[in-house]
């Protein structure tokens, strides 16, 4: 982790150096504005820029973390649904069919009508992933923020527009969570599918129910396998939270833009934001490496190789 931090530090220095040397780059650096803690015109502080940046960082972390909770829980469920390949038959009560018929999702057996719920769940999960992956996140954000309140019943729409606490932030969290869930679902599915079929058959052979097969055999292994791609999805949430500035969430990038507008010292603010984003990335990557090492199953080659 120390080496990682050193690398990050070095890279910042190198890149800043490069930008400084390029062409006839004339820019009057005023690093002092980043330390503005109160309004002080003489020192070039029209606002408490230092606190703005901290506040922006706080909102970035808050939005990203909350969105990740939604993304991880929903994404896991949808990913699992996408791996279901056996029918889950549910008997329709009180209704008997005089004729025999059978389709992919509904059929009869001795007059009793059964519906394959698994087919619906599987289909829903597939549609969910397709829709959320194939529409740009920014468009999704606008749909949730501007269009969704108009589509729901009138009272609910009014509540969304008037009484929802922190409307911009809540919408951003919700939207980012649902979007990232589709990515998490793909990782979870890939993780489960990467486990050899033999494991599943062995679990069934010793008498585990389908739920137990997932709970005790498939999920514990697959979640360990997908830690690296999940880490990059988690970092993706941090980066994507910057899109929330378009609907008025004052997160880190929005704050730097605001400082640029107030002070014309944009590069200082952008640099601060860049360093903070890189810092968040480095911390998350370091933490996930520790988690990965902690939960490693001894003797599992596929995990040690990564």
Partner 1 sequence: MESGGFDFHIVFHSIPFLAKGMGLTLLLTVLGIAGGLVFGTVLALARLAPFKVLSFAAGTYVNFFRSMPLILVIFWFYFLVPLVLGQEIGAFQSVLIAFIMFEAAYYCEIMRAGIQSVRVGQAYAGEALGLTYPQNMRYVVLPQAFRNMIPILVSQAIVLFQDTALVYVVGLSDFLYSADIIANSENRLMEMYITVAIVYFALCSWGQFQVRNLQKKFAHE
Residue 278 in the binding site for partner 1 (CB under 8 A)? yes
231/235 Cα distance (integer angstroms): 6
Give me the least distance between CB of 136 and partner 1, in Å please.
Answer: 4
Asked whether the beta carbons of 58 and 50 are under 8 A apart, the reply is no
Residue 133 in the binding site for partner 1 (CB under 8 A)? yes
- Tell me the two tokens of residue 260: 């640029």
> From the centroid of its chain, how far is CA 85?
26
13/24 Cα distance (integer angstroms): 19
Q: Which stretch binds partner 1 (CB under 8 A): 10-18, 32-40, 81-89, 93-101?
A: 10-18
Who's near 77: CB < 8 A, 6+ residues apart?
none
Who's near 81: CB < 8 A, 6+ residues apart?
121, 122, 124, 125
113/280 Cα distance (integer angstroms): 55
Residue 143 in the binding site for partner 1 (CB under 8 A)? yes
Among 256, 258, 259, 268, binds partner 1 (CB under 8 A): 256
Give me the least distance between CB of 182 and partner 1, in Å please.
Answer: 12
Q: Which residue has the tokens 């490069």?
A: 18
Among 6, 109, 124, 136, binds partner 1 (CB under 8 A): 136
Among 134, 154, 155, 205, binds partner 1 (CB under 8 A): 134
Among 5, 14, 43, 92, binds partner 1 (CB under 8 A): 14
Asked whether the beta carbons of 148 and 132 are under 8 A apart, the reply is no
Among 2, 41, 95, 147, binds partner 1 (CB under 8 A): 147
Residue 84 in the binding site for partner 1 (CB under 8 A)? no
Asked whether the beta carbons of 175 and 169 are under 8 A apart, the reply is no
Give me the least distance between CB of 80 and partner 1, in Å please.
Answer: 22
Give me the least distance between CB of 222 and partner 1, in Å please.
Answer: 21
Who's near 120: CB < 8 A, 6+ residues apart?
105
**What are residue 113's DSSP bridge partners?**
108
Nearer to partner 1, 141 or 169 (CB): 141
Residue 27 in the binding site for partner 1 (CB under 8 A)? yes
Task: Name the 3-class secondary structure at 206.
Answer: coil
Residues near partner 1 (CB under 8 A) are: 7-8, 10-12, 14-15, 19, 22-27, 130-131, 133-140, 142-143, 146-147, 150-151, 235, 238-243, 245-246, 253, 256-257, 260, 266-267, 270, 273-274, 277-278, 280-282
């Amino acid at each position: 982790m120390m080496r990682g931090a050193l690398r990050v530090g070095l890279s910042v220095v190198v890149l800043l150096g490069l930008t400084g040397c390029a062409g006839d780059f004339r820019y009057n650096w005023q690093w002092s504005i980043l330390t503005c803690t109160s309004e002080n015109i003489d020192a070039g502080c029209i606002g408490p820029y230092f606190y703005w940046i901290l506040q922006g960082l706080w909102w970035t972390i808050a939005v990203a973390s909350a969105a990740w909770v939604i993304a991880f829980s929903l994404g896991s469920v949808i990913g699992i649904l996408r791996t279901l390949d056996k029918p889950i038959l549910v008997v329709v009560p009180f209704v008997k069919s005089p004729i025999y018929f059978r389709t992919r999702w509904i059929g009869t057996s001795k007059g009793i009508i059964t519906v394959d719920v698994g087919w619906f769940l599987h289909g829903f999960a597939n549609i969910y992933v397709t829709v959320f992956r194939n529409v740009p996140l920014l468009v999704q954000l606008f749909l949730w923020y501007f269009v969704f309140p108009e589509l729901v019943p009138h009272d609910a729409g009014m509540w969304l527009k008037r009484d929802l606490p922190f409307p911009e932030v809540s919408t951003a969290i919700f939207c980012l969570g649902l979007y990232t869930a589709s990515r998490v679902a793909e990782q979870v599915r890939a993780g489960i599918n990467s486990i050899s079929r033999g494991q599943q058959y062995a679990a069934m052979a010793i008498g585990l129910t389908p739920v137990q097969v997932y709970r005790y055999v498939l999920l514990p292994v697959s979640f360990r396998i997908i830690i690296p791609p999940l880490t990059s999805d988690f970092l993706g949430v941090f980066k994507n939270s910057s899109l929330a500035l378009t609907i008025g969430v004052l997160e880190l990038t929005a704050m730097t833009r605001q400082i640029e507008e107030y002070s014309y010292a944009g590069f200082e603010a952008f640099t601060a934001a860049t360093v903070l984003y890189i810092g968040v990335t480095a911390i998350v990557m370091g933490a996930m490496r520790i988690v990965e090492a902690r939960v490693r199953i001894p003797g599992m080659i596929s995990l040690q190789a990564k």
